[in-house]
Amino acid sequence: MTYEQLDTELVNELLGDGRASLRSLAEDLDVSVTTVSNHLSDLEEEGVIQGYTPTVDYDAAGYDVTAVMQLKAEGNALGEITETLRDHDQMVSVYEVTGDYDIIAIGKFKDTDDMNDQIKALVTDPDIKQSNTSIVLNSVAENEQFELETAADN
């Protein structure tokens, strides 16, 4: 197994069980614990693996309103607006995009009043030229991850 192949297999194993022990990963990948540890450290240093966090079901935690905001930014204010959105606790995704809008932000809220109050506060920024907010009716797929392509897949 090549170095890159081992890294890919290691990432895929962790996608299946992010709490797997080094020993169980080593057994599954048929390599030593030291090899797994070294490769895991390399993947973390390179930023391929950026942390180990639980997957939260926000609906179950009481944040059952999801809003998708599309924003047009004034000229050079794009960076400032995206930073403000990123720093907002309930924004789970912020994207700079091409097309009719400059920014797409996705937020989770406890109810529509909470959403309305927070979105109004966010979009009063004079550098936001236009906004369009949609409320998600049904989450078909969310926070999905996919396994990396391996040499065997080619």
Domain shared by 71 and 121, yes or no: yes
Q: Quote the CA–CA distance of 7 and 116 in Å, as a whole number.
A: 44
**For position 119, which CATH number holds?**
3.30.70.920
pLDDT at 137 > cutoff 80: yes
Residue 15 lies in a domain: yes
Sheet with 103-109: strands ordered across: 91-96, 103-109, 65-73, 128-135
Domain coverage including residue 100 = 65-135
| Averaged pLDDT for residues 76-101 | 95
pLDDT band at 22 (very low <50, low <70, confident <90, very high): very high
Domain shared by 79 and 124, yes or no: yes
pLDDT band at 73 (very low <50, low <70, confident <90, very high): very high
Greater pLDDT, 145 or 27: 27
- pLDDT tens digits for range 56-66: 899 999 999 99
Q: Quote the CA–CA distance of 79 and 123 in Å, as a whole number.
A: 15
Q: Quote the CA–CA distance of 40 and 127 in Å, as a whole number.
A: 43
Q: Quote the CA–CA distance of 35 and 127 in Å, as a whole number.
A: 51
Please tell me whether residue 123 adopts helix, strand or coil conformation. Answer: helix
Domain shared by 45 and 104, yes or no: no
Domain shared by 47 and 27, yes or no: yes
Domain shared by 96 and 124, yes or no: yes
